[in-house]
Amino acid sequence: MHSSATRLAAAAVGALALLAATAGAASAAKAHGHLLQLTPTTRANANQSSNWFGYNQGSLEKGNKLFNAITGDWTVPAATQHTKGQEEYSSDWIGIGGGCVDANCMVGDSTLIQTGTEQDVSASGAASYGAWWELIPGPSLEITNMTVRAGDHMHASISEVAAGANVWTITLQNVTRGQTYTTTVPYSSTHATAEWIEETPLLIGTNAGFAALPNLTNPAFTAATTNGRPANLVASEQMLLTDSNSNVIGAPSAPNATADGFSACTWATSC
What would the DSSP string read from start to end of the chain? ----S----HHHHHHHHHHHHHHTT-TTEEETTPPP-B----STT-EEESSEEEEEEETTTTTS----EEEEEEEPPPEE-SSTT--B--EEEEEEESSBSSTT--SB---EEEEEEEEEE-TTS-EEEEEEEEEETSPPEE-TT----TT-EEEEEEEESSTT--EEEEEEEETTTTEEEEEEEE------EEEEEEE-PEEESTT-EEPPPPEE---EEEEEEETTEE----GGGEEEEE-TTS-EEEEE----TTSS-EEEEES-S--
Where are the chain's structural domains?
Answer: 10-266
Per-residue confidence (pLDDT) for residue 204, from 0 to 100: 77
Per residue in 200-224, pLDDT (tens digit) is 988 877 667 889 999 999 978 999 9
Per residue in 18-66, pLDDT (tens digit) is 333 333 322 345 555 567 887 655 444 579 999 999 999 999 999 999 9
Question: Looking at the predicted structure, is the pLDDT value of residue 151 above 90?
Answer: yes
Share of the chain above pLDDT 90, in %: 73
Per-residue confidence (pLDDT) for residue 35, from 0 to 100: 72
Cis amide linkage into residue 137, ω under 30° from 0: yes
Per-residue confidence (pLDDT) for residue 208, from 0 to 100: 75
Stretch 101-105: mean pLDDT, rounded? 91
Q: Which of 125, 88, 42 is nearest to 266 (CA)?
A: 88
Stretch 145-174: mean pLDDT, rounded? 97
Higher pLDDT: 18 or 126? It is: 126
Higher pLDDT: 271 or 7? It is: 271
Q: Sort strands 238-242 and 47-49 into parallel, antiparallel or unpaired.
A: parallel
Per-residue confidence (pLDDT) for residue 12, from 0 to 100: 34
Query: Does 10-266 carry CATH code 2.60.120.700?
Result: yes
Share of the chain above pLDDT 70, in %: 84
The pTM of the full predicted model, rounded to 2 decimals, is: 0.86
Per the prediction, the chain carries an average pLDDT of 86
Per-residue confidence (pLDDT) for residue 10, from 0 to 100: 26
